[in-house]
A and B are shown apart, each in its own frame.
Chain A
Amino acid sequence: MAEVLVLVDHIDGEVKKVTLELLTAARRLGEPAAVWIGPGLENAKDKLAEYGAAKIYVAADEELTSYVVAPKVELLAKLVADKSPAGVLVAATGEGKEIAGRLAVKLDSGVLTDVVDVAEGFVGEHSIFGGAVIAHAKVKRGTPIVAVRPNAVAPEPAPATPAEEQVSVTLSDAAKAAKIVEKVVQEKGERPDLTEAAVVVSGGRGVGSAENFKIIEDLADALGGAVGASRAATDAGWYPHQFQVGQTGKTVSPQLYIAVGISGAIQHRAGMQTSKTIVAINKDPEAPIFELVDFGVVGDLFQVAPQLTEEINKRK
């Protein structure tokens, strides 16, 4: 069975959940071979094995992570040339999509980005126009490169015993043109990553102020979820921009999405419509968000949300 390269998404050895989703998807397409770039594999090996990595290609050289994207692409291009995999899977994060794009140019291969599913033959499923249309696409030329949206594929363990192989690449000068001089980690507290979280609680204009976002945070914390915000809320400066959900913000696809004081504009829906279960609290019965919900409460969020938080905490 041909190998399917899976680029591991991790921060200093902490494997992102999307990697386990990619390994799960890769098993339908061939034999998953994880590609590890950077330090920290020791702590991560068990996870990759648990989710079925038959092989791990290890490139620990620090140079590969000292420049923007291009070195990782050169390593992947070399692996594709050497190992002739059936295809390459990456996470459809900002950087993941860029890796996919550059690799496509290098290999003159087709690329599918932000797919919500990938089936045999590397047929990708896209959810487009804010979730209104489902399209299938495939690659006609070259080695298929597919960027898969986090949280779209359910990760399933399938223990394997991966063989490790050290790999390296000699970087071109062009790959060393954009140097990362500092990585600035902004405090996100104890909450899970917005794009990876199983539960997301988002607040909108109805929340009214930065201080009131505490109500949203408390509810998110009761559910072990992440906090999101509509653009109205981030534009107002009530919550940082990186938490914006929607067309020009993050795309999330959690098991549970709770929209609080959000009207449900098409641009917001573009970022959350593929959530499995949707709940909304809004005082306007006509708010378009109610068209999407599995459960909705027409009411004042300042009454309903704290009561919900209290009730969840009571039931723990």
Chain B
Amino acid sequence: MNIVVCVKQVPDTESPRKLKPEDSTLDRGAADGVINELDEYAIEEALLIKEKHGGEVTVVTMGPEKATDSIRKALAMGADKAVHLVDDALAGSDALGTSYALEKVLGRTGFDLVILGSESTDARTGVLPAMLAERLGVPQLTLASKVEIDGSAIKVQRVTDYGYDKVEASLPAVVSVVEKINEPRYPSFKGIMAAKKKPVETLGIADLGIEADKVGLAGSASEVTDFAEAPPREKGQIVTDEGDGGVKIAEFLASKKFI
């Protein structure tokens, strides 16, 4: 089975995250880059499926040069190879542009299964998996907390507000995963060493026939017009419990008409 995992490098949530004043895009230099956390679950799920059904796992990432760190980590976890789409023309792409570019990459790798995290921790739009399913014209099996494959049949549990839906389709398909689907493995020392020798193909937009005016800041269909640090919350009142802490909160809630 040809399994492709889309992996995004994001700024570490532990370090300060910023937008750049010039163009209101993410300041990727301001923070350490890490694999988007949910994408580790996507990689793990791909590896589990490969272990059970055979095949190959390819990591696809679109991002700046330094996203190779994330690719290496994915390969160290056990993915077989990677495709890295890097091009200055892609900087500042919105979700629509990103999904268009990723579609082109997937056109080149081919796939039986595309697995993504359900949301990134930086932009958190949560739209890419559905956008890709739409573009590729294959079943959308998103927000999955469980995936089962039997031949070309695939079943997932899709998390909903009320519980979950049981969904069935046939491959090829796009899957996005939620956090409780598995427990991502840590790369072993052997895995880290092996990753250094695994193939990473680096491509630019010309290699894939991506039209420059459909991506990047200029090609995007949406734009950030301005931004500012949120005003700090007014300093609240903090009291130490002296046996009446609960009553004190109740008084506060009453003053705010909550009770």
| Residue positions of A touching B, CB distance < 8 A | 11, 68-70, 73, 93-95, 97-102, 104-106, 108-114, 123, 126-142, 174, 177-186, 188, 193, 195, 199, 223, 241-242, 244, 247-249, 255-256, 266-267, 270, 277-279, 281, 285, 290-300, 303-312, 315-316
Contact = CB atoms under 8 A, between A and B. Distances in A.
B150 interface: no
B182 to A, nearest CB: 13
19 contacts: A68-B165, A70-B134, A98-B126, A99-B130, A100-B127, A109-B96, A133-B228, A134-B227, A137-B223, A140-B222, A178-B169, A179-B168, A184-B157, A188-B162, A248-B179, A279-B249, A307-B247, A308-B245, A315-B254
Contacts of B222: 110-112, 137-140
Contacts of B229: 132-134
A105 B236 contact: no
Contacts of A294: 233-234, 236-237, 252
A105 B99 contact: yes
Contacts of B168: 178-179, 181
Contacts of B94: 110-111
Contacts of B95: 101, 104, 111, 113
B68 to A, nearest CB: 24
Identify whether the interface residues of B are mostly helix, strand, loop, or mixed.
Answer: mixed
A114 B230 contact: no
Contacts of B238: 285, 290, 293, 295-298
Given A279-B252, A296-B237, A310 B138 contact: no
A183 B165 contact: yes
A304 B166 contact: no
Given A98-B127, A177-B138, A137 B221 contact: no
Given A133-B230, A303-B245, A186 B131 contact: no
B228 A303 contact: no
A244 to B, nearest CB: 8
A106 B246 contact: no
A307 B246 contact: yes
A292 to B, nearest CB: 6
Nearest to B242: A299
B37 interface: yes
Contacts of B125: 97, 101, 111, 113-114
B139 interface: yes
Given A247-B124, A266-B14, A307-B245, 17 more contacts: A11-B162, A68-B140, A111-B95, A113-B95, A128-B123, A132-B17, A134-B228, A137-B224, A140-B221, A188-B162, A244-B179, A293-B238, A295-B237, A296-B237, A297-B245, A298-B241, A308-B245
A184 B236 CA distance: 42
Contacts of A178: 139-141, 167-169, 173
Interface string B92-136: 001110010000000000000000001101111111111101110
B220 interface: yes
B206 interface: no
A113 B139 CA distance: 22
Interface string B35-57: 00110000000000000000000
A310 B227 contact: no
Given A69-B140, A111-B127, A137-B224, A312 B250 contact: yes
A188 to B, nearest CB: 8
A309 B259 CA distance: 11
Interface residues of B, number: 85
Closest 6 CB pairs between A and B? A299-B241, A307-B246, A101-B127, A110-B221, A186-B163, A110-B222
A206 B237 CA distance: 21
Interface of B: 13-14, 17-19, 24, 37-38, 94-96, 99, 118-119, 121-131, 133-135, 137-143, 157-170, 173, 179-180, 220-230, 233-234, 236-241, 243-250, 252-254, 256, 258-259
Contacts of A267: 13, 121
A138 B223 contact: yes
B230 A134 contact: yes
B221 A142 contact: yes
Given A184-B163, A248-B179, A109 B246 contact: no
Contacts of A180: 158, 165-167
Contacts of A141: 221
Given A178-B141, A304-B241, A315-B254, A135 B96 contact: no
Given A111-B95, A306-B246, A132 B230 contact: yes
Contacts of A256: 253, 256, 258
A272 B164 CA distance: 24
Nearest to B31: A129
Contacts of B38: 248
A303 B241 contact: yes
Contact of B246 (A104, A108, A199, A308): A308
Contact of B258 (A112, A199, A281): A199
A303 B170 CA distance: 55
Given A110-B96, A303-B245, A308-B249, A183 B134 contact: no
